[in-house]
Structure 1
Amino acid sequence: MASASMPWFPIRTARLLLREFHAGDLDDIHAYASDQNTVRYMEWGPNTPEVSSQRLHLTLAEQEQWPRRDVNLAAQLLENGRVIGSVRLGLDGQDGADLGYVFGSSWWGVGYGYEAASAVLAAAFDTLELHRVWATCDARNAASVRLLEKLGMRQEGTMLRDRKVRDGWRDTGLFALLNDEWQVRPG
């Protein structure tokens, strides 16, 4: 697998630096991870300060290993250094990976999610030469569905009441994109 040779990050985009997490990111992480709006459709949160700290320490320990299957990157604003979310690529060991992301609600609607996710997809397909990347989201999360579709992912199905979250069982949409589809996308 191409990911085993060397890290494919950090990634710089027009407005973001996608990089490994640092211990000093805790306040920024907790700001979005404790926000009810941010975590509304997530399986976790809202975080207490203790949970945010524990999760960051676990992430920092995971970052000590290379190669690793799950790569979690902080999404840092270039303009002020603030971490506003994260993007994750979880390699399956069979030329595929799942994509995940979270951005603080204060930064929704201005394209940061698309910017970060498309940069990670470019790394997945162009650098790691993966065959397939998929993502899931709560089917009620219309903004995330739109983002996945804008990335060129197609909905492959809906898993009915497959995850128990704060407000009960949720339906989960499954989206995917193949490398050959990525290579011929417009623009």
Structure 2
Amino acid sequence: MDELLTDRLLLRAFRPGDWPEVHAYASDREVVRFMDWGPNSIEATRHHVNRSVAMARVSPRLVFPYAVERLADRRVIGATELSMTSLDHRRAEMGYVFAREAWGQGYATEAAGALLGYAMDKLDLHRVGATCDPDNTGSARVLQKIGMVPEGRLHAYYLIRGEWRDRLMFAAVRD
């Protein structure tokens, strides 16, 4: 799996030893508030990290899970993932999550932009989509900053802790 380097971040394959840093954000109720998973137990986080380590070795790759490491202190502050949804149509979806301490500093925009660039330029995808909760205005701003365009609202799309939640759909399409 290719590593992606930005000015402040390294997007790299997960390592088994990443689980404590991943657990710090994956167990935070505020961080996972809009996610369809979590807050994680230690066992769930370890399982996720081990699954991500294994997925990075699969070929052909249909899922590209990345740990987001901050270069300044070499800490994992988040994750981003690209999932192929159609090889024939060169289409994928992406998502990300970041520790609360990393919010508001441009890390999500930097990482998501790097992943979108990789998807379009290196993987030659035609379309990359992403969704976010309508109440997650920060995530919607990130998606728009990296060039994704709002396409609509998906009604009752995720069941999150017993409540059906809508999603806003964004996409970047190659011209």
Shorter-chain TM range is over 0.9
Structure 1: gaps spanning 5 or more residues: 1-6, 181-187
Secondary structure, counterpart of 1:80 in structure 2: coil
Letter of the 2:58 counterpart:
Q
The answer for the alignment partner of 2:70 in structure 1 is 77
**Does the CA contact (< 8 Å) of 1:158 and 1:171 recur in 2?**
yes
Select 2:26's aligned residue among 23, 33, 53. 33
Structure with the largest fraction of helix: 1
The answer for the alignment partner of 2:163 in structure 1 is 168
The answer for the alignment partner of 1:90 in structure 2 is 83
Q: CA deviation at 1:167?
A: 5.5
Letter of the 2:78 counterpart:
G
Q: CA deviation at 1:140?
A: 1.3
Select 2:134's aligned residue among 123, 139, 142. 139
The answer for the alignment partner of 2:44 in structure 1 is 51
**Does the CA contact (< 8 Å) of 1:28 and 1:84 recur in 2?**
yes
Cα distance in structure 2, aligned partners of 1:162 and 1:100: 15
Q: CA deviation at 1:28?
A: 0.3
Select 2:100's aligned residue among 81, 99, 105. 105
Letter of the 2:171 counterpart:
A
Letter of the 1:88 counterpart:
E
Select 1:119's aligned residue among 74, 89, 114. 114
Cα distance in structure 2, aligned partners of 1:76 and 1:95: 28
The answer for the alignment partner of 1:62 in structure 2 is 55
Equivalent residue pairs, number: 173
Secondary structure, counterpart of 1:17 in structure 2: strand
Letter of the 2:83 counterpart:
G
Report the TM-score, using the length of structure 2 for normalisation. Answer: 0.95
Structure 2: gaps spanning 5 or more residues: none
The answer for the alignment partner of 2:148 in structure 1 is 153
**Does the CA contact (< 8 Å) of 2:55 and 2:65 recur in 1?**
no
The answer for the alignment partner of 2:173 in structure 1 is 178
Cα distance in structure 1, aligned partners of 2:162 and 2:147: 30
In the TM superposition, 1:1-20 aligns within 5 A as 7=1, 9-20=2-13
Cα distance per residue 1:139-160 (max 9 Å; x no partner): 1111111111111111111011
**Does the CA contact (< 8 Å) of 1:129 and 1:179 recur in 2?**
no
Q: Percent identity over the alignment?
A: 43
Secondary structure, counterpart of 1:88 in structure 2: strand
Are positions 1:23 and 2:16 aligned together? yes
